[in-house]
Amino acid sequence: MVRVNLGADGLATGVTYVDLMTGEEHEQPADVVILSGYTMSNVKLLMVSRSDAHPDGIGNDRGQVGRNATHQIWQSPTTGVFEGERFNLFAGNTSTIKVIHDFYGHVIDHADLDFIGGSSIFSTIGEREPVTSAGDLPITGDQNWGRAWKEALRNHWGRFVPITIQGESPAYAQPDLEHDPYTRDAYGQPLLRYTFQRPDNDLKVYRFIAEQCRRIMEEMGPSEMDFTEEIETYNIHEYKSTHIQGGAIMGADAGDSVTNSYGQVWDTPNVFVTGAALYPQNPAANPTGTLAALAYRTGDAIRDTYLRDPERIMS
């Protein structure tokens, strides 16, 4: 699906999609359109669907699409080696990890802290395989090649444990998701460009939570450990969380959000958005359970309320 089609009255009339086998475009008429791609796909589809009534895209009559995009903090501040232990971390999976919930933003007392938000802290995920996990060994110093490194890898690969954090990174009103002015996709549409630079608050959350991780690791009594005091610069070649949210946020007021709480777009009420693009903030937890619940809520509301009185904003 490449765009939502719009009528002279500003409402959606359906969508255009491309048959990938033939390259032909087709129009699918529809009374209601639900955008249910991933966060960024939804934002992009809103932006590229334009008409005289929506010169900057659907939901964007007040310039809100692309704002309040959020990432998360993801890093392992400390790793310990436990001589003589064997953790079998090639086994296990994400759902078996132990999570400490005591440092979420709404749990910590911020009275003497100079940041907002917080983080979860958890044990290593498991599913460890040699190639991508080798770089996490804490005992190789700056040298990750050669005889000493191979020896360390052989001796310690089954014996090291990182403590990892998934932290909150607050939303800011600047447009972080925008049309890329230089590159276009296979359908001639501008790619979506995401600009993210860690705000000061992220650095402070990290320092505070990393310190808790260091204390926990020391209590665990490793034979060796490392500790990273400052958050790493953001990059896209290492895993840095795939929980990108916002960009088409829900809210109570059309002046500072894109949709209402049902994902119904304020300025185009027969278009709905699902998924994490709706989230006004990005807490330290995983996003998918909540967005699935919200999608059910939107479905129920379309069936039970919207279809009885189409094109009205629900409340």
Ligand X SMILES: Cc1cc2nc3c(=O)[nH]c(=O)nc-3n(C[C@H](O)[C@H](O)[C@H](O)COP(=O)(O)OP(=O)(O)OC[C@H]3O[C@@H](n4cnc5c(N)ncnc54)[C@H](O)[C@@H]3O)c2cc1C
- The reply to whether 38 sits near ligand X by the rule CB under 6 A is yes
Identify which of residues 94 and 174 has a Cβ nearer to ligand X in the complex. 94
Q: Which is nearer to ligand X, 223 or 288 (CB)?
A: 288
Q: Applying CB under 6 A, what is the total number of residues that bind ligand X?
A: 15
CA distances 80 to 94, 120, 215, Å, are 19, 19, 12
Q: Does 177 bind ligand X (CB under 6 A)?
A: no
Catalytic residue among 54, 71, 156, 243: 243
Residue 305: CB minimum distance to ligand X, A:
22
3-state SS of the chain?
Answer: CCEEEECCCCCEEEEEEECCCCCCEEEEECCCEEECCCHHHHHHHHHHCCCCCCCCCCCCCCCCCCECCECCEEEEEEEEECCCCCCCCCCCCHHHCCEECCCCCCCCCCCCCCCCCCEEEEECCCCCCHHHHHHHCCCCCCCCCHHHHHHHHHHHCCCEEEEEEEECCCCCCCECEEEEEEEECCCCCEEEEECCCCCHHHHHHHHHHHHHHHHHHHHHCCCEEEECCCCCCCCCCCCCCCCCECCCCECCCCCCCCECCCCEECCCCCEEECCHHHCCCCCCCCCHHHHHHHHHHHHHHHHHCHHHCCCCCCC
Q: Which of 132, 174, 242, 305 binds ligand X (CB under 6 A)?
A: 242
Binding string, residues 89-128; x marks residues near ligand X by CB under 6 A: -----x----------------------------------
Q: Which is nearer to ligand X, 218 or 238 (CB)?
A: 238
Q: Does 237 qualify as catalytic in the annotation?
A: no
Among 288, 305, 307, 311, binds ligand X (CB under 6 A): 288
280 lies in the binding site for ligand X (CB under 6 A): no
- In whole angstroms, the minimum distance from the beta carbon of 296 to ligand X comes to 12
CB of 35 to ligand X, least distance (A): 8
Question: Which residue number, 81 or 273, has a Cβ lying nearer to ligand X?
Answer: 273
From the list 35-43, 116-124, 172-180, 194-202, the region that binds ligand X by CB under 6 A is 35-43
CB of 292 to ligand X, least distance (A): 7
**Catalytic residue numbers?**
243
Name the site residues for ligand X (rule: CB under 6 A).
Answer: 1, 36-38, 41, 94, 242-243, 274-276, 286-288, 291
